[in-house]
Structures are given as structure tokens and as C-alpha cells.
Structure 1
Amino acid sequence: MENKLALLYIGAGASLWGIIGIFVTYFYELGFSPTQVVAIRALSASLFLVFYVMIKNRQLFRIKFSDSKYFIGTGIFSIVLFNWCLFSAIEETSISIASILLYTAPAFVTIFSRLIFKESLTTPKVMALMTTFVGCSFVIGVLPNTHESISLYGFILGLGSGLFYALYSIFGKFSLRKYHSLTVTVYTFLFAAIAITPFSGLWNVLPLFSDIKVWFYVIGLGFLSTMLPFLLYTKGLNTIESSRASIIATIEPVVASLIGFMVFQEKLNLWQYIGIILVIAAVIITSKKSTKKTLISNELSL
């Protein structure tokens, strides 16, 4: 029964990550830019996480000033850039395509781990890389010459989200050696908020915050699609092995695609759906060889 409950936690967390496109799209309709939406996510998530840690264990706030470099990496070079690329890709392409291009992250992690940590390129890893490449080619329309390819800019944004998402695993690998995962997450979003807010121009859209719908979307983005799924996913990891958890988490792009189809009437062709299946399959192949620490750092960024 406990394992079934853990599976439910993991599935619920991944599903909540998958609905983020709803809030992002509605923010755009109200007049917010991608940079402003990134700032709203970072600020709101920071506030919710700080409040949670104050209740749970204030000792988790303690870090060494010299270790700020880790959170510059996770917060600025990963979270800020990853979110900006993802939200811009949603605006440029669609929720479905942006979410599946984000899932190229495990392929980037494999490449970075080989270059930085000298991890071996096993047969499953090579298979996963090739599967990801073919799957993405189908998703963006390059193969099999469907004449429905997305723009080059949209493709670069999508790959950029996967690239910077992957960097969280690399930077997070160092910080998790010294700090609790919740500490890493809190300071990641705090550093992200401090970095992006001065450049967001949020003060130019202050009148928009008089609309009650904006505050609903702020809570949805910061709590429902950021903090809550993190808590659910982490709780599930306490009971079941991380490889099973990561496989269940691939429900995220499926949920995102369903949201795009049912809520925003986004349409994909058969080859793009095949591409989505291939990318998810590559994630499953990669996850079977992943360690628990890597997977925790991978998933906490969403």
C-alpha cells in the first residue's frame, strides 16, 4: 500500500509539472513577456519555499558564503535560462513541442557527464542519444520531410531549455554533496529571483496585478506547478527506487501534450506523436542507469 501511495505521489508531481503550460499561456494572453513570467515563477516559488522551510527546519537555511558559486550555477545558469528558453519555446511553438524538446535534457546530461566526470558511454546511453535525436527530428518536422517543421528559432529555444535543464544536474551534483536537497532548491530559486527580477520589467506591468486572475496564475505557477510537485516527488522518492520514479515522471510531457490538445486545441501529426514516444523511450533507457542523487537534482528544477 505504501509503494502504491509513493507511485501516486510521483505521478501527481509529474502531472503538476506537466500543466505549467496552462499558466504560462494565460500569462501571455494577459500581456506578460517570457522574461516576466520567469521572474514571477522564481519570485513566487522562492516565497513559498522559504515559508515552507521556516516551518519545517530553519537549519536548512545555513550555507557557507563561499558555496554561493553552486547556487549561481543552479539558479542563474540553469533555472533562469532554462525557464526563459522553455517559456519562449511555448510562445514560439506549442506546449507539446516545447515540453518534449525539454526532455532532451537526459541526453545532454549524458554528454556532460562524459566530458566533465569521465563517465563511460555505455551501449544503453548511446542508444538513448540516438533515439533522442531521431525522436526530436520527428517532433520538429525535419523527418520524414513532412513540410510542417517548426521554426529554427523555436527549435533552438527548445533545445536550449533541455541544455540548461541538464546543467542543473551538473551544478546540483556538487551542491548536493554538501547540502540537503531542500536547501539547494530554496537557494536555487532565491538566486534565480535575484538575478532575473532587475531585468524583467515587472514594474511596467504592475497595473495587470489588479486583476484577480493574475494572482490565481501566480499561485498556480509558483505553488501548484513548482513547489507542490517538488514536495510530492521527493516524498515519493523516500519509498520507491529512483529509477522507477524517473520512469513514472515521463508522464509530464504526456500531460503537457494532452493539455495543449484539450485546452488550447494544439494539433500534432502522426510523426510528431511517434517522436514524442521515442524521446520518452530514450528517457526510460537513460533512467535505468541513473543514480538516485542525479535523478533528484534532475527533477527538482521543475
Structure 2
Amino acid sequence: MKNKALIKYLTALLLFGLNGIVASHIAMNSYEIVFLRTFIGSVLLASLFLLTKGRFHLRNNRRDYIFIIFSGIAMGASWMFLYEAYQQIGVSIASLLYYCGPVIIMIMSPLIFKEKLTVPKIAGFLAVIAGIILVNGQASAEGLNIRGLVCGGMSALMYFFMVTLNKQSKEITGMENATVQLMISFLTTAIFVGIKEHFVFHIPTEAIPWILMLGILNTGIGCYLYFSPLSKLPVQTVAICGYLEPLSAVIFAALLLNEKMTLLQVIGAVFIIGGAMTGELIKVST
């Protein structure tokens, strides 16, 4: 059961790693892209959920729904902060700040989830952090500003709340969990875009296939694969393996966008993979 959940989670991370590749073909404002991807993704999941005769169990699981709703708000906010950070300080530094989210989870898990920090997990965690620094270490300090740094930090904080709040849902899992999560994320994004841009924007014809791919595959299906196994995985596994997303994004960019990886970035990739394997596969009895 745990292996199946882990495969789902890793597949979702790879899909999310492709987000930048897909988005590079969409000539639109970043907030508009987030709005469209959450709209299409939530419509897809809601349709699939209803077609398979799924039922919302709000009446009997109000506590779980409260956690999922707040987790959805955190996810929408996290994506919006992240995309604003992309514009303000660039993708590399923004990504580095965003993936401090799993670091916060790792640090807080003994207090919140009563999970033990074993020596292999600590070693794997440190290796992953070193790898992320190496992969993103080529970023220039030029153009850094307080607003961008704050947005990057807030995206990490919202990531922490997104994962930890969703993990509190014990009864509402699978398709129902993912559907509610993404619908709330869309509503959060829609409110922001409505206030900021009044829903007035142009969708280029050539971008439509990429928008559909981003919304259906990378968001709708990706979010289902991401959230449905969370309750079955240790939070530290979620934190460490979560770094597969930025690692895969770097690799996909090198392969599909011809972005070159430096030697330090290659070494960093090895650190990330090795750290994730150390933290997940090596067990130490306590």
C-alpha cells in the first residue's frame, strides 16, 4: 500500500516538474496561467468525481473538510506567491526559497506529527539541501528585492501549511480530497485575479493546447496523484522526496529547452537523488 502511494506521489512530482516546460509555451501573465490551470484542473477532477458517482461527505466529516479547505487556500496562495517571486527575483532563487517549504516540514514534523528524526533521514535531508544549493547556486544576486524575497519566503510557508493541513484529513482522501483541494485553490486564485485584473485577459490561440495540457494533465491529474497518497506517507518522506520536483524541472529544462547544466548542478543533482534515497530507503531501528 505504501509503495503504491509513493509511486503516485513521485509521478505527481515529475508532472509538476514539467510545469515550467509547458508554461514556457504560454505567452500570458503568470497569474492568468495559475488561474487557468486551477480552473481547468478543478473542473476535470470534479467531473471525474461526479461521473464515478463520488459523494462529498461534508456532513459526517466536517473536521476533515475544514483542514482540506484551508489547505486549498494555502495551495492557491503558495502558487501565487511563487509566480510573483519568479517575476521579481527570477526562477532559480524563487525556487530555492519555495523549496524551503519541505525544510520547514522536516524541522516541525517531530513537534506536529510526533515522527522521529532518524540519523539516515537527517543525513539525507542535509544532502538534499546541499544539492539544492548547488543546483541553484549559479543564480545571480542582481535584481533581488525585498518584495521578491518576501514572496519567495511566503510561498515556502504556504507550502508548509498546504502539506501539514492536508495531512490532518484522515477520512477524506483520494479523489474527494484532491477535488475539494483544487476547487478551493481555484476559488482563492480567482478572487485574487478578479481583484487584480478584473478577469480581463487575452488567451493566444497557439497557447490553448499548452493551457489544456497544463490544466488537465499537470494540474488535474497531477494534484490527484499528489494529494491522494499524502495520508499514507510519513511526512518526512513527503518532505525529502518532494525535492524530485525541482530536480526534474532542471533535468527537463536541460533536455527539452536546451538549458545547460553546470558541473556544480550535476553534482547537486547527485546529492539530491542520493539524499532522497538515503532518507527513504535506509532504515535504522531506534
**For this structure pair, what is the TM-score category when the shorter chain's length is used for normalisation?**
0.7 to 0.9
1:170 is the counterpart of 2:164: yes
Aligned to 2:207: 214
Aligned to 2:22: 23
Q: Which has the higher helix share?
A: 1
Aligned to 2:125: 129
Aligned to 1:272: 265
1:82 is the counterpart of 2:78: yes
1:70 is the counterpart of 2:64: no
Paired residue type of 2:35: A
Paired residue type of 1:63: L
Deviation at 1:39, TM superposition (A): 1.9
**Normalization by structure 1: what TM-score?**
0.70
8 Å CA contact 2:73, 2:188 repeated in 1: yes
Deviation at 1:270, TM superposition (A): 1.7
**Cα–Cα, structure 1 residues 266 and 169, in superposed 2: closer, same or farther, change >3 Å?**
same
Deviation at 1:63, TM superposition (A): 1.5
Query: CA–CA distance in 1 between the matches of 2:257 and 2:126?
Result: 31
8 Å CA contact 1:11, 1:251 repeated in 2: yes
Aligned to 1:297: none
**Normalization by structure 2: what TM-score?**
0.74
8 Å CA contact 1:103, 1:279 repeated in 2: no
Identity among equivalent pairs (%): 24
**Cα–Cα, structure 1 residues 266 and 164, in superposed 2: closer, same or farther, change >3 Å?**
farther
Which segment is superposed worse, 151-160 or 271-280?
Answer: 151-160
Deviation at 1:280, TM superposition (A): 3.5
Pairwise mapping of residues 99-110 of structure 1 onto structure 2 (< 5 A)? Answer: 104-110=100-106
Query: CA–CA distance in 1 between the matches of 2:69 and 2:222?
Result: 23
**Cα–Cα, structure 1 residues 54 and 167, in superposed 2: closer, same or farther, change >3 Å?**
same
Q: Find the residue that maps to 1:26 and give its secondary structure.
A: coil
5+ unaligned residues in a row in structure 2: which ranges?
none
Aligned to 1:42: 38
Q: Find the residue that maps to 2:25 and give its secondary structure.
A: helix
Paired residue type of 1:82: S
Residues 171-221 of structure 1, C-alpha deviation per residue, up to 9 Å, x if partnerless? 12211x121221111111111111221211454543x13x32333232111
Deviation at 1:229, TM superposition (A): 3.5
Query: CA–CA distance in 2 between the matches of 1:190 and 1:19?
Result: 22
Across the aligned residues of Structure 1 and Structure 2, the Cα RMSD in angstroms comes to 3.8
8 Å CA contact 2:193, 2:199 repeated in 1: no
**Aligned length, in residue pairs:** 268
8 Å CA contact 1:125, 1:286 repeated in 2: yes
Deviation at 1:263, TM superposition (A): 4.1
Paired residue type of 1:169: V
Query: CA–CA distance in 1 between the matches of 2:244 and 2:18?
Result: 11
**Cα–Cα, structure 1 residues 125 and 255, in superposed 2: closer, same or farther, change >3 Å?**
closer
**Cα–Cα, structure 1 residues 73 and 284, in superposed 2: closer, same or farther, change >3 Å?**
farther
Pairwise mapping of residues 239-278 of structure 1 onto structure 2 (< 5 A)? Answer: 252-278=245-271
Query: CA–CA distance in 1 between the matches of 2:107 and 2:224?
Result: 29
